[in-house]
Each structure stands twice: as C-alpha cells, then as structure tokens.
Structure 1
Amino acid sequence: MPDETEPRQPPVDPRLWRYAAASRSFFVVIALLSLLQTAVIVGFAFFTTRAIVDAIAGADLAGTLLALAGIVVARSVLALIRERVAARASARVESQLRAAVLDGVAQLGPEWTASRSTSHLALVAGRGLDALEPYVGRYLPQLVQTVIATPILVAAMWSADAISGLTVLLTLPLIPIFMILIGLATRSVQRRQWETLTRLATRFSETVQGLSTLTVFGRQRRAADAIERVTDDYRRETMTVLRVSFLSGFALEFLASISVAIVAVAIGFRLIDGSLTLSVGLFVLLLAPEAFLPLRQVGVQFHAASEGVAATRDVFAVLDDAAAASADIAPAPAPTGTDHVLRVRDVRVRDLPPVTLDARSGEIVLIEGPSGAGKSSLLHALLGFAPATGRIEFDGVAASSLAPSAWLGWAGQRAGLAAGTVAENIRLGDDDMPERTVREALALVGLGALDPARMLGVQGAGLSGGQAQRVAVARALARHLRGHAPVLALDEPSAALDADAEAHLWRSLRQVADAGALIVLVSHRESARGIADRVVRLSGAEVTA
C-alpha cells in the first residue's frame, strides 16, 4: 500500500519551470507541435476515408492520394521534429538542473552538506538527473500531447457522429481512473526502488572509504556481503517496478481495446441498418484508436520515467533548501582592506564550552588543548562546517554571510588532495594562479624541490603523508599570497612532519604572519608556542587565553 502521509506529486511539478528555464520554451514548442500533429491525424482520417469512399464510387483518386501522401510525410516529419526537440530540451533541462543543484549545494555550505550523505548527493546530481531524460524527453511531451489532442479528437468525432462521440466520452475516463489507481499502487514501489539505490550507493561509498580498516579487522567479507544484500534488494525492487509496469500497460491496452471495440460494434450495426453512412462511420472508426492512444502512451511513458519521477523529489528538495537559505541570508560584500579583525564571541559548538577571542592581521593565534576539547570544532565553526551558537565576525561582518573562500585559507588534518598534478591541487579554485605563486607556496612549506607538474593519484597517492600534508598547507598559503585569504586556518599542519620539517614550517608561518596574515593555528606540538602571539587553551570545562 502507498504511504498515505507522503505528499502526492503532481504530473508536472511547477518547480521544474522555476529551476530550469529551458522547460518553459520547451512546453510552448511541444504544445505547438502537438496541435499540428493532431491536425495531421484528423487530416489523415479524413483523406483516408475519402480515398476509400471514392474508390468504391469509382471516382478519380489522384488528388486525394496526393493529399494523403503529403499528410503521411507531414506526420513523419512532425514526429521527427518532436523527438529532436524533446532530446535537446531534456539535455538542456538536465544541464540546468545539475548546475542549479551544484550551485545550491555550494550556497547551502559545508554545515548543510555535513548533515547529508555525500554519496546520496552524488547520486542525486548524477544518476538522479540522468534519469530525468525519459521524464522530460518522453513523459512530459506525451502529457502535453494528451491534453491537446484528446479533446480535439473527441470533438471531431462528436461533430461527425454524436453517438460515437458520446460513447468515447463515456468510456475515455476509464483509462485515467485506472491510471490513478495504478499510480497510487506503484508510487511507493517506485520510491522504494530509488531509496534502495541510494542505500546501495551510500553503503558502497562507506565500504570503499573504510576498506583498509575493515581489512585490518578482518571484516571486509562482511562488508561485501552487506553490499551484495542491498544489491539483491535493488534487483527485487527493480523487478517489482517492471512487473507493475507491464501489468499496468496490459490493463491500459485492454481498456482501450474494449472501448474502441464498443465504438466499432456500434458503428457496424448502424452501417448495417443504414442509419450511418460509410464515410462518417469510417472517419469516426479511424479516429477512435487515435483518441485513446495519447492516454495509453501517458501510462507507458510514466512507467518508463518512474526513476526520474522519484528522483525529482530529491533534486527539488536540494533546490528548495538553497532557495530558502538565499532568502534568509542577504549576500555580503567580500572584505576589503589590509588590516583585518576576527572576533569570536561566545561561540559554542555542541556541548563544548564557549570560546571568545579577538585577532588581527599579523598575529598567530594558537589553539591548543587535549583531544576532544573542541580545537578542530572551533575551526569548523569558522568555516561553517559545524553548527554553532554565538557570533563570528570578520571585519565587522557576520562570517555566516560570507563564503569561506572569500576570506579563509584552510588546511585540515586530512590533506584532501585529488588526482591530478601538484600544481592543480594547489590552484584549486584559482585556475589563473601563476606558476611562480605555486612554487613560492611549495618553498614556504619546505617542498621547493617538488615538481609542480608531478602527477598524483586518487587522494594524493604518490606522496608521503608528510608531503601530502604540506601540499595542503601550500594550497592555503597560495590563496593568501594571491590576496584571496587574509585569514589562514590550519589544523595540525605539522602532525606528520619530523622536527626539521616542522621547524621550517613554523618559520614560514611566522614570516607570512609578519607580512600581514592572520593565522589561527591548531596544534598539539609544544614547539608551536614559539611562533604564537597568543595561546587559547581549550579544555573540557573552560577556555583560557
């Protein structure tokens, strides 16, 4: 049974028009094409009837056959044009929605992202939007065709023969009624299929990320078995959707066939008793299947687009959250000036004690304390990665209204490197960064001999742990050297370094701070105190500066 608490999704979600501008013109073009196709259908029935009647009467068929040939060609051309328009429009809508989703995720920020499954977001932006192709390219055009063609065809039949028109008008509602019943029965099935796919993607992503740990503890086989179980669940859900699709298709075809048969039998009896002429009876009989065809095709295309229909809910949920966030937070200008001030007032992350501090350009503020005291959590609050109470201001502007990239350079405990060259990793977010800046940043962290063109594998494979950590610090320093990050937030930047490499890094950070940077440094190393202008000590009970 479907979930009665689940909101019913309309045939065309109006948010599609709002978030994908290409869909608006697409509907207009499809409506015009549907109108022309309907006119061609009526013309085909008319000229076919005329050709048969004239042939029986022995009249000249040349003009009629020529017109009929033109109708056939026009119908084929219009069908081809519609397919191409639908394909191009679906590609444009998919591209616009994908860009909107990525922009929305970026606008919502790391705090929102941290509360979601990244594998689910990747699935929505990838497979979910790919699944919109049959929804936009086939289901929606067929829906427009049905809305336009069905009333015109019924009206044409009624104008030729009121009894046949009334028969179609009475039997036609049976198809949408059964479509609604089938839709109610299959909605939960379609949703379960999408949720199972989401669970599979999440499980696989988590298993790959923790594979080394699972291997050490001998649990890799159990993880593989769990993936196999979810995969089997997805297979069963997919087969259920297919079974429902085939059964519903059969039901719709059966209803349409019975309805057309009723019209045909009535016409046959009336032709026999002479109350209906051959020309009228044949014309109506040719239009009867065409009147039922659009509704039948809507049902078929709806099931073909079922995955896209389920995915739209998650796609639009992301976009709605982004729209709500943009309405709540007014955009703030990027900070200017050379002397910057960072104020943290009673900032509390989770149940940790509140933190208050002031810092200016040219200072290094060292955050230290035992594990679990909230050192990294404070940096995450600065970055917007973690929800926090209190207020964080940069140059008098609430940090929550500024994109972190507008004022912060960050290097976390995990290097966060990607496949590509060393230079590409340092230039992340700044493709115009000159090579001299890349080399200067590498030299500051003690990697002056490292070739910027060196290729790295996934997650920076090819570098040692210490090298990867220093490349991440170099990336933050490079942003500062480019004038994009007056504040540097560094989380345990020397954790994987030996004493000599650490001493070199501390000297460089002191040099960068003396040149005007404001550095918030988290470190458990006692040697970090030697370069700090101020030490903020975090503990489980209090904060001392």
Structure 2
Amino acid sequence: MRPLDPRLVRYASAARTFLALGGVIAVAQALSVVAFAWLVTEAVTGAIAGRGLDDLSATLIALGLVVAVRAVLALLQEAVAARGAALVKSQLRSRVLDAVTTLGPGWLGERRSAEIATVIGRGIDALDGYFARYLPQLLLTAIVTPIVLIAVFSQDLLSAVILAVCLPIIPVFMILIGWATQSMQKRQWSELTALSTAFDDTIGGLSTLKAYGRQHRQVDRLRDITRRFRQRTMAVLRVSFLSSFALELASSLAVALVAVTIGLRLVSGEIDLVSGLFILLLAPEFFLPIRQVGVNYHAAAEGVEAADRVFEILDDARAAAPVRDTGSTPTAGERGLTFRDVRIAYDSDSSSGRTVVDGFSADVAPGVLTVLSGPSGSGKSSLVSALLGFVPFAGAIRAAGHDAVGGAAREALAWSGQAPTLFAGTIAENVALGDSTPSTDRVTEALSIAALEHLDPATPLGERGTGLSGGQSQRVAIARAVYRVLDSDERVLVLDEPSAALDHETEARLVANLVRFSRTGRAVLVVSHREAFIGRADVVVQLAPADSRVVAGAP
C-alpha cells in the first residue's frame, strides 16, 4: 500500500475526519516547535547577555506554556489516532463483510476461509499501528518539515540549503529499507495465513484424523509452520532494528553537518549567536518527523499488508456489483421465475475461460413443480448462483418481477442449498430465522411440508445443527425456505438437491409434500437428478453443458 492509499479514504469515511483533525494538530505542533526553539534561544542568549530573572520571567512563562501546549497536543494526537483507528477498523470490517456477501459463495469457494478470517480479524486489528504511529508521523512530516525549513531559511540561507539537500537522503534509505521490509512482511503474512489455515483444517478434520490415528502427525506439521512463522517474524524485526540504526545515523550526520558549519561560522563571525542557536535547536526537529515515519513503518507494516488484502476484497466487490437499471423494478402482478438467453462464463477475460451455460431459457410457473436436472458440471449450481446474484451472467433472469442482476431478486426468493447452515438455538428459531415476529403456526406448517412433523420445534440445537442427523439438518433448512415462502405467496421456492441425504421413504414424503405445496399457487424450482423428483415433476428442464432444453412440459 502507498504511504496514504486513496482507497482508505474511499472505503472508510472516518479516515477523512482523522486526516482533517490530524492536519490541524500537526500545524499547531509545527508552530509550537518553532515557538519553543525561539523562546529557548531568547532565554539562553538573554542569560548569556547578563539579563536577570525578572527580565526573563515573561520568556520563561511563555516557554512553560509552550511546553504544556506541546504535551496537550501530543495527547490529543494520540486520542484522535486511537479514536480514528477504532472507527476505521469498524467501518472496514463492516464493508468487508458486506463485500463477502456481495461476492457470494462462488468467490469464497476459490479462497481459504482461514485467510479471510485472518484478514478480518488480526489483519484489521494491525491497523492500530498504522493509525496510532505511522499516519500521524506522515502528517507531521508533510506539515512540520516545510514550516521548520521556512523558519530556518528566515535566519540563514546556507543552513536551510544544507537541510534541504540532506533531507532526501533519508527517504532514499526509507525506500530501500521499505522494499526489503515489504518483501519480508509478505512472507511473514503468508506464513501466518498458512498457520491459520493449517490450524483451521486440523480442528475441522480432527474427528477424521483420530479415526485414522493420524492426529499426532499434525502436531509436527503445526510445529514446523509455527517455526517458519517465528523465523519470518524475527527477520522482520531484524530489518526493523537495522533500518532504525540507518535512519538515525543519516539524520545525525545531517544535524552534525549543520552544527559544524554553524560552529565554524560563529567563530568567524559570519552568523550571530541568536540565529545559530535557533537553527541548532530546529535542526533535529526538522529530521525528527521523517525519521519517525521510517521507524514507525515497521510497526505498521503488518497493518499495511492486511489493508492491501482488505482493499483487494472491496475492489472485487465493487467490480462485481453492477449498476442496476430500471429493469430491476418489480412488475405488478408478475409471479414465477423466468430465464431468457442466460449465458454464464468463468474467467471470460483469460485464455482459460470456459462457458458453463449458454443460451438457457426456461419458465418456472406458479402452481407447478419444476425440476432442473442434468449431469454434474452442466451448470445447475451456476444457474442458482446467478439467480441469487452471486455469479455474473448475460441475458435476463427475473423472479416475481425482480431482476436478478446484483442480487436484486433475493427478496423474491426462498432458497435452500446443498450444505445447510444451522445455528445454535431451537429448531423453531432456525426455521423462522430473520423473522422479527415469528409465527408458531407457520413454523409447524413449514416443518410438516419438510417431512419433519415429528420433531418438536422447541428442541435445542448446538452449533451447526448438532443434535440432528444430516438428513434432518437438510430438511430443517428446507423448512426455513418454506417458512419464507409462506410469508409471501409471490416468493419463489428454490431447493438445490433437497433429498441428497434422505432415504427413499422420507424422500417420497418430501416430494409429495412439495407437489401439494406447489399446487397452492407457489412457484417451486428443484435442482435434482433424483428419479423421485423427476418422476413427479410437472416440468423437467434437462440441462447439458452449455446447452439446455425443456423435455417435459406442464400437463
């Protein structure tokens, strides 16, 4: 990430307030630095000239006030930085979560969940160093350094020229060191991601590992990854300490050059004591902000690397969210689901791109059960993802009058996927998920349609539906989708492989219930290759790769 990435201001509005307040504080600090140097110069030269304490009292009081103001400004800067960091982190987390929702399961399926969790968790937390140390010093460099240089120039041209010439040396060192640090930080972040992923995989598959007696081998694997992460971290710290020494050396030599020059000129009488002492007091302050930028870059390096990942996710979401046109406005009275000349292609911009659906057209009418069938890889799941707005497509998809572009049709859909997600709580709470005023009668009816009438809605479940079998969990998810349809007759029910984990008897009951449910005037689309659904369907849409056709029509 650049020193101040414009995407930070774009995606986190709190950063603008932080930068504005930080700029005002930096100006005040710059003026206080100049005032402090001038008052110290006045006090010292006055004492040398033989002025008494009474004569210097006003100067000393003013000096004390300036010192107090500098302390208050330093505290205020830390408070603004801490508050700004908290707000920016909150906004970025919220936007990343929204972005993940926008990008959908197709995008998530190509990435490791542990990496996303690391970015949202520790990665965004690492922005504390970026805001609390790095950015304030960057603002001070941009504001204090020019003001101090002007103050030096007002007293002595040669000293100002020396400072101006020596100043670029430090940024050159910073750039060279920054390249090395960035490379090492990327490797450290990769190791951290690998460690998080390995731990997540181990915990997720622990039952399988124990069943095969392989759990102990994972200890060595995690130990090896942890060792590599420790080595990468120490390498980053080593570069940090060495770079701090290099920056301190460069700034000290520059200040020493100014001091030697002023000393020689004081002896020769080319410059007076007041100007010389004033410049000597300002010279360290001139290099301090930019030196601190280099030092604090290492404290913020992890946050900078994480911010890059955050902005990549937000940029992807921004590119994947097309502008909705007036065609997304629902048409009064329009019901059911329509596909017109739908084309879905992955990686269409690259040579390895492939088209999974081409020219698909079909209608899912209210009052009939429509089954979308086809071999694996024919594009069934891609069509459902496009309907939900998770996959870009060409053509037109409308659900109950809502255009599917950008996910606008989700409000008109009730969907249950192949991998149901249940939450800790009762069965009723899982079925009525998202309903602020759940209906007990509707929960009971939804469970009955999902062939779960024997389950008590008050039964508590653990995380991920612990307490139910795989088939029962799948039917609770189906009941949740049915519950949503019962809330509105216009919603379309979409079920993806709803009977994959069911025995033949339970599957037959579920199919019969869904047929009766469709007869109530609801539009029902089932994605399945099971004969139980195909045999009872009113409409079967047989899908082949990049081709589709209706092979059975409504009676």
Range of TM-score over shorter length = 0.7 to 0.9
- Report the counterpart of residue 170 of structure 1 in structure 2: 165
Counterpart pick for 1:360 among 352, 359, 365: 365
1:69 maps to what in 2? 64
Q: Which residue of 1 aligns with 2:525?
A: 520
> Could you tell me which residue of structure 1 aligns to residue 511 of structure 2?
506
Aligned counterparts of 2:59 and 2:28: Cα–Cα separation in 1: 20
State whether residues 341 and 360 of structure 1, in contact with CA within 8 Å, keep that contact through their aligned partners in structure 2.
yes
Decide whether aligned partners of structure 1 residues 456 and 338 sit closer, same or farther in structure 2, where only a CA change above 3 A counts.
farther
Deviates more, 1:134-143 or 1:375-384: 375-384
Kept in 2, the 8 Å contact 1:480–1:486? The answer is: yes
AA of the residue aligned to 1:134: G
Percent of counterpart pairs with the same letter?
50
Structure 2 SS opposite 1:29 = helix
Mapped contact 1:335–1:406 kept (Cα < 8 A): no
Distance in 2, Cα, partners of 1:233 & 1:76: 42
Counterpart residue identity of residue 9, structure 2: W
Residue 51 of structure 2 is aligned to residue 58 of structure 1: yes
- The answer to whether the 8 A contact 2:105-2:390 is kept is yes
Alignment of 1:252 onto 2:244: no
- What is the CA deviation profile of residues 373-404 of structure 1, one whole-angstrom value per residue up to 9, with x for unaligned ones? 66555544544556777654435765334445
The whole-number CA distance in structure 1 between the counterparts of 2:127 and 2:425 is: 31
> 1:288 and 1:387 mapped to 2: Cα distance?
58
How far apart are the structure 2 equivalents of 1:430 and 1:222?
A: 46
Mark the CA change 1:211 to 1:513 in structure 2 (over 3 Å): closer, same or farther.
Answer: same
Distance 1:431 1:205, change over 3 A: farther
SS of equivalent to 1:365: strand
Higher deviation after alignment, 51-60 or 364-373: 364-373
After TM superposition, the structure 1 stretch with the greater mean CA deviation from structure 2, 436-445 or 22-31, is 436-445
Is 1:313 equivalent to 2:318 in the alignment? no
**Greater alpha carbon shift after TM alignment, 158-167 vs 430-439:** 430-439
What code does the residue aligned with 2:17 have? S
User: Do the aligned partners of 2:262 and 2:276 also contact (CA within 8 Å) in 1?
Assistant: yes
Q: State the shift of 1:347 in Å.
A: 5.5
Instruction: Determine the structure 2 residue equivalent to 1:18.
Output: 10
Distance 1:150 1:199, change over 3 A: same
**Secondary structure of 2:367's partner?**
coil
Correspondence for 1:143: 138
1:34 equivalent to 2:26? Answer yes
Contact kept, 8 Å, 1:110 with 1:384, in 2: the verdict is no
User: Residue 272 and residue 409 in structure 1: after superposition, are their counterparts in 2 closer, same or farther (change >3 A)?
Assistant: same
Is 1:457 equivalent to 2:462 in the alignment?
Answer: yes
SS of 2:370's partner is: strand
223-232 or 459-468: bigger deviation: 223-232
1:198 is matched with which residue?
A: 193
In structure 2, the residue matched to 1:5 is: none
Question: Quick one: which of 123, 126, 130 aligns to 1:131?
Answer: 126
Please give the secondary structure, in 2, of the residue aligned with 1:305.
helix
Q: What is the CA–CA distance in structure 2 between the aligned matches of 1:204 and 1:305, rounded to whole Å?
A: 26
The farther-off stretch of 357-366 and 268-277 is: 268-277
Match of 1:109, as an amino acid?
G
Which secondary structure state, in structure 2, belongs to the residue aligned with residue 340 of structure 1? coil
Tell me the CA shift for residue 309 of structure 1: 1.2
Task: Give the corresponding residue for 1:340.
Answer: 335
TM-score for the superposition, normalised by structure 2: 0.86
Residue 144 of structure 1 deviates from its aligned partner by 0.9
Query: Higher mean Cα deviation, 77-86 or 264-273?
Result: 264-273
Cα shift readout 1:278-335 (whole Å, capped 9, x = no counterpart): 3322222211111110011111111110011112222112222222233455475464
Q: Helix, strand or coil: the match of 2:321?
A: helix
CA contact (8 A) 1:407 1:484 kept: no
TM-superposed CA distance for 1:501, in Å, is 4.2
- Structure 1 counterpart of 2:14, which letter? A
CA distance in 2, matches of 1:448, 1:224: 45
Q: Which amino acid aligns with 1:175?
A: I
What is the SS of the residue equivalent to 1:357?
strand
Whether 1:394 and 2:403 are equivalent positions in the alignment is no
1:3 corresponds to: none
Counterpart residue identity of residue 534, structure 1: V
542 and 25 in structure 1: CA distance in 2 versus 1, 3 angstrom threshold? closer
Output the CA distance in 2 between the equivalents of 1:159 and 1:187.
Answer: 39
Alpha-carbon distance change, 430 to 197 in structure 1, aligned in 2, over 3 angstroms: farther
Aligned length: 537
Q: Secondary structure at the match of 1:250?
A: helix
Indicate how the Cα distance of structure 1 residues 25 and 372 shifts in structure 2: closer, same or farther if over 3 A, else same: closer
- Structure 2 distance, partners of 1:373, 1:267, is 81
Deviation string 1:72-96 (CA, Å, 9 cap, x unpaired) is: 1111111111111111111112222
Change (3 A) 1:484 1:292: farther
Q: Cα distance 1:259–1:542, how it changes in 2: closer, same or farther (>3 A)? A: closer
Tell me, in whole angstroms, the C-alpha distance in 2 between the residues paired with 1:399 and 1:19. Answer: 26
Written as runs of structure 1 = structure 2, the 5 A alignment for 1:70-89 is 70-89=65-84
Q: What residue identity is the alignment partner of 1:417?
A: L
Range with greater deviation from structure 2 (533-542 or 68-77) = 533-542
Question: Quick one: structure 1 residues 438 and 80, their matched pair in 2 at CA, closer, same or farther if it must change by over 3 Å?
Answer: farther
Residues 114-135 of structure 1: CA deviation (Å, up to 9, x unaligned): 3333332332222222222221
Give unpaired runs (5+ residues) of structure 2: 345-353
Alpha-carbon distance in 2 for matches of 1:360, 1:293: 72
Greater Cα shift, 125-134 or 285-294: 125-134
Tell me which amino acid in the other structure corresponds to 1:412: G
Q: Is residue 156 from structure 1 mapped to residue 119 from structure 2 by the alignment?
A: no
Question: 1:409 and 2:392 equivalent?
Answer: no
Tell me the CA shift for residue 531 of structure 1. 4.5
Gaps of 5+ in 1: 1-8
Letter in 2 for 1:43: A
Contact 1:43 1:71 in 2 (8 A): yes
1:422 aligns with 2:415: no
Root-mean-square deviation over aligned CA pairs: 3.1
Alpha carbons of 1:119 and 1:359: their partners in 2 closer, same or farther (altered >3 Å)? Answer: same
Please tell me whether the aligned partners of residues 339 and 360 of structure 1 are also in contact (alpha carbons under 8 angstroms).
no
